[in-house]
Structure 1
Amino acid sequence: MINDRVAVPDCAQSGTARLSKELFWVPLEDDSGMLYAPLRGALLQSRTALLERLQEALTSPEPMSSSDPHLWEFLVEQSFASPDPEPLVRPDHGQRAGSFAPTGAIIMTTNDCNLRCRYCWAAAGEATRVTFPIEIAEATVRMVVDNARAQGVQPRIAFHGGGEPTLAIKLIRHVVEYAATYMESSGGTEEMAFSLVTNGCISENTAHWLAETMDDVMVSLDGPAEVHDAQRPFAKGHGSFSSAFRTAKIIEAGAATLTLKATISEYAVGSMSEITRFFCENFANERFYLGPALMAGRALRGGYGEPRAEDFVREFLRAEGVARKYGRQIVPSAAVQVFPEVTARYCGLSDPNVAINHLGMVSACYEVVDPGDARYEMFGYGQYDPVREEFIFDDARRQRLQAWDLKGIEHCRDCFARWHCAGDCQVRNLRFEDALPIGETDMRCAMNRALIRARLQGLLSGGAAQDLSSTEQSAFC
């Protein structure tokens, strides 16, 4: 059990000022550590003598202002204690108390794929191909348009899949055309926002159409040809780099926003600096996403699995230096993307998301849309009704998902990084075969802890730090 938490009993509190209950000690390599209050944005590096003195004061039956007044004044001065209430960080669910009216949805177009990526979590292209019915797609459009109009927001549709979405390009084109027709016929003037994830192995005509039609397109590109082709071959075995690179450049030149993501497997981890340099020299994006592979699907069957956490962190920090020279940013995880802000949820799972499969079944996560998946019982919460031609949601399940945030994850309770990773991906924290927790020492957890520790040390060593004494320095997040 990870235990970074400093226990703060109520009896230690003094007067109007309150010491943060979210208080952590993060040990460093020498005889020092960092005192961290993420909800207060307070950070202090000191010798372990400070921790010992603090723990002694906290175990005293007297308030700290009496048992150790100088320490108490110092903690107040450094914002670890304040008269202001501790910020309440929970997901903002406007729909929690009322009826559920989603304004966005994810259409899982197909499970088919023209690639056989060696780390694919979905083992895409291996199962019997399924087709997403037009009537369910049209019902999805009507639902989000009607709800968005009632709420005064823009409707959104994302195209995803446990495969390559554009293999159902006729469906995608139909949805775009139907959305425009439906909005016009119902008297609206707003436009639908469309996004899509692709492996980039598509025709030039399709790439140009996506570039001018989609608002956002994420292209999976694993870096230079030698890395990309080793990880992402076509079904017949030859490399897919030239096609993916061509598509990414077409998207970049168009109206859509291009997002680039490289998956870092045990094979690619040593090439992270090279991948970063390739992105920086070939694309204008301000940030690129380099995320670790997931131990599922082909990765479990002799493919390329996840890298070791220590290898990933070491190579990421080196690659980050490369990105910095180009004035760019690389993002390895949601925790680093959030930091130094705090959050109680990792993603939109607890909104919940509306991911719809070819059977009209609704899940809170696009990675769990197969009713045969042991985790579907936890994340599935709706179904298309062909008689009523609308979606029916299970309110009890929906409300359970909305309540599923960081505060309900017991094994994260004492971890200093928890307010940045928010417990990380709740779906990936469950084993695929039986939906049981995978444990407390998985690669992503170790990665997040190491990277957030590095971020905290960076604050202390950067311009935000100020010397308090020969052994102490502080920073405010």
Structure 2
Amino acid sequence: MGHFRKNICTFIVTNKCNLSCNYCWVNMEKDDYPKQVLDLEFAKKGLSDFYEMTKSNYLGFFASGEPTLEIKIMDEILEYARDLIGDIKVELQTNGCFNRKTLEWLHDNIDILWISGDGPIEINDMNRTTKNGRGSGRLIEKNIKQLMELKEQSKKDMVIGIRSTIGNFNVKKQKELIDYYYDLGVRAIYVDQICAQVSKDENKYLTGEVDSIIFAQEFLKAYKYAKSLGVFYGTIATMNFDEEVDIACRSLLPAPHLTPSGIVSSCEMCYEEGSPLDIFIYGKWNEEKKIIEYDYNKIEKLKSRRVENLIECKGCEYIYNCAGSCAGESFNETGDLYKRNERLCKIVKYLGKELKRNEGIYPYLHP
């Protein structure tokens, strides 16, 4: 589905996390930063502004850490949202490491749940570990099974999908990844390459990054296999292959991400002032006045990243199924909002030749 359709108000709940994943794009130097939680008044005002402007009932929870560590504020936001809007659609991304009480809350309150996991336990635990170095795979597996059981019992129309990171450690094991989650009842999987840390450091690329063409080749094999099983299998480079688009992603609408540091960012990769991705920051919470002060020049700048302004991409046969691809990753890796991201470009062109495009809207938006 054209990712621009994801007009969602996202709450970056906290920078606290219970895992320490090797390839996390959050700058690892910031482990000793003060831990923050989203301000409730700011969250309410941001949602109110969003709804007034868009009339969209789509809400999301994410974090530069792990959102389920702050269930209380999510609960309060949802209570406010239901009073303000009525019927709402709620999405959450989680690392899958939570207790039974949290699991039941997720079942009762979330419509679209994306769980991060990299495949069978022995593969997952190579990188996705707790703070003390223990693997997270067994707990993730247990929670997926229990969520599937609750979903079956309640007959709730709930999406339980997987978001996997692909590196050299699992790029050629995607069939095993698909089989593993298929056996757990999962029918929707998005996978993406390890991407660069959000950092000004030139050495921002992480150990384990996989070559783009190898990723594309192995993704294609996995895509065909998943399709034979009735599993949706996608990646950020193909997120607009279902329909022609003029903009790549929701960050260019811009769709708000309300952060613990009191800023409004249009990209989940930018969550605090001073970020190398400052271009995506277009609002700031004024606690004294209880208003959000928006930078309308920034908003127009973001909206300008359209096909017509991507000079390096002129004439590309895939431009309307790419539109420059992920704006956050591209800016982080090139330092320019309009510059071509060669890493993603290679994947788009390879898969564009192999996959049919514009054949109907995808059932799932990229997380």
Equivalent in the alignment of 1:306:
209
Partner of 2:18: 114
Structure 1 438/155 Cα, relative in aligned 2: closer, same or farther at 3 Å?
Answer: closer
**Superposition deviation, residue 324 in structure 1:** 3.0
Aligned to 2:363: none
Match of 1:371 among 273, 292, 299: 273
Quote the residue 1:233 is aligned against. Answer: 129
Letter in 2 for 1:196: L
C-alpha distance in 1 between matches for 2:344 and 2:129: 26
Query: In structure 2, what is the Cα distance between the partners aligned to 1:402 and 1:211?
Result: 36
Indicate if the aligned counterparts of 2:263 and 2:271 stay in contact, CA closer than 8 A: yes
Within the alignment, does 1:245 sit opposite 2:141 as a pair? yes
User: What does the per-residue CA deviation read over 1:270-314, in whole Å, with 9 as the maximum and x for residues that have no partner?
Assistant: 2112112222222242x3111111022699678544211121122
1:269 counterpart SS class: coil
State the 1:318 CA deviation. 2.0
**Compared with structure 1, are the counterparts of its residues 439 and 307 closer, same or farther at alpha carbon in structure 2 (3 Å cutoff)?**
farther
Q: CA deviation at 1:437?
A: 6.9
Q: Which residue of 2 aligns with 1:450?
A: 350
Distance 1:271 1:384, change over 3 A: same
Matched residue, 1:159: 61
Out of 126, 133, 136, the residue aligned to residue 39 of structure 2 is 133
Structure 1 equivalent of residue 364 of structure 2: none
Q: Could you state the TM-score of these two structures normalised by the residue count of structure 1?
A: 0.66
Q: Name stretches of at least 5 consecutive residues in structure 1 with no aligned partner.
A: 1-88, 93-102, 460-477
Q: Which amino acid aligns with 2:215?
A: F
Q: Contact 1:431–1:437 (CA<8 Å) still a contact in 2?
A: no
Alignment of 1:181-200 (within 5 A): 182-183=83-84, 190-200=86-96
Distance 1:301 1:368, change over 3 A: closer
TM-score (norm 2): 0.84
- Distance, in Å, in 2 between the alignment partners of 1:326 and 1:408 is 40
Q: Would the alpha carbon gap of residues 398 and 438 (structure 1) be closer, same or farther in structure 2, given more than 3 Å must change?
A: closer
CA contact (8 A) 1:342 1:419 kept: yes
Alpha-carbon distance between aligned partners in 1 of 2:291 and 2:34, rounded to the nearest angstrom: 27
Residue identity in the other structure for 2:72: K
Q: What's the CA shift for 1:340? A: 5.0
Asked if 1:435 corresponds to 2:338, the answer is: no
Aligned match of 2:319 in 389, 410, 418? 418
One-letter amino acid matched to 1:219: I
Find the counterpart in structure 2 of residue 318 from structure 1: 221
Q: CA deviation at 1:136?
A: 1.4
With 203-212 and 305-314 compared, the bigger mean Cα shift is at 305-314
1:331 matches 2:234? yes
Output the CA distance in 2 between the equivalents of 1:192 and 1:144.
13
For the pair 1:392 / 2:293, whether they are aligned, the reply is yes
Alpha-carbon offset, residue 416 of structure 1: 2.0
CA contact (8 A) 1:333 1:448 kept: no
Distance 1:334 1:431, change over 3 A: closer
Cα separation, partners in 2 of 1:345 and 1:429, compared to 1, 3 Å? same
Which deviates more, 105-114 or 171-180?
A: 171-180
Superposed CA deviations along residues 36-57 of structure 1, whole A, max 9, x for unmatched, are: xxxxxxxxxxxxxxxxxxxxxx
1:97 alignment partner in structure 2: none
In the alignment, the residues of structure 2 paired with residue 455 and residue 154 of structure 1 have an alpha-carbon distance, to the nearest angstrom, of: 32
Structure 2: distance between partners of 1:324 and 1:210: 28
- Mapping 1:452-471, distance limit 5 Å: 452-455=352-355
Cα distance in 1, alignment partners of residues 354 and 132 from structure 2? 42
* Counterpart-to-counterpart distance in 1, 2:172 and 2:185: 21
Separation of aligned partners in 1, 2:49 and 2:332:
33
Distance in 1 between the 2:18 and 2:275 partners? 23
Find 1:288's aligned residue among 189, 195, 198.
189
Shift, 1:403, TM fit: 2.3
Q: Distance in 2 between matches of 1:400 and 1:155?
A: 26
- Provide the identity percentage: 23
Aligned partners of 1:305, 1:442: CA distance in 2, in Å? 18
For residue 295 of structure 1, what is the amino acid of its counterpart?
Answer: A
Which structure is richer in relative contact order (CA contacts within 8 A, separation 6 or more)?
2
Does residue 106 of structure 2 align to residue 210 of structure 1? yes
Distance 2:8 2:236 in 1: 24
Alignment partner, residue 257 of structure 1: 159
Q: The residue matched to 2:330 in structure 1 has which SS?
A: coil
Question: d(CA) in 1 for partners of 2:195 and 2:355?
Answer: 24
Structure with bigger gyration radius? 1
Distance 1:290 1:140, change over 3 A: same
The change in CA–CA distance for 1:258 and 1:374 in structure 2 (over 3 A counts) is same
Whether the 8 Å contact between 1:221 and 1:245 is mirrored in structure 2 is no
User: In structure 2, what residue type is equivalent to 1:380?
Assistant: I
For the aligned residues, what is the CA RMSD? Answer: 2.9
Taking a change above 3 Å as real, the CA distance of residues 324 and 302 of structure 1, as seen in their structure-2 partners, is: closer
Rounded Cα–Cα distance in structure 2 between residues aligned with 1:355 and 1:412: 28
Deviation at 1:418, TM superposition (A): 1.5
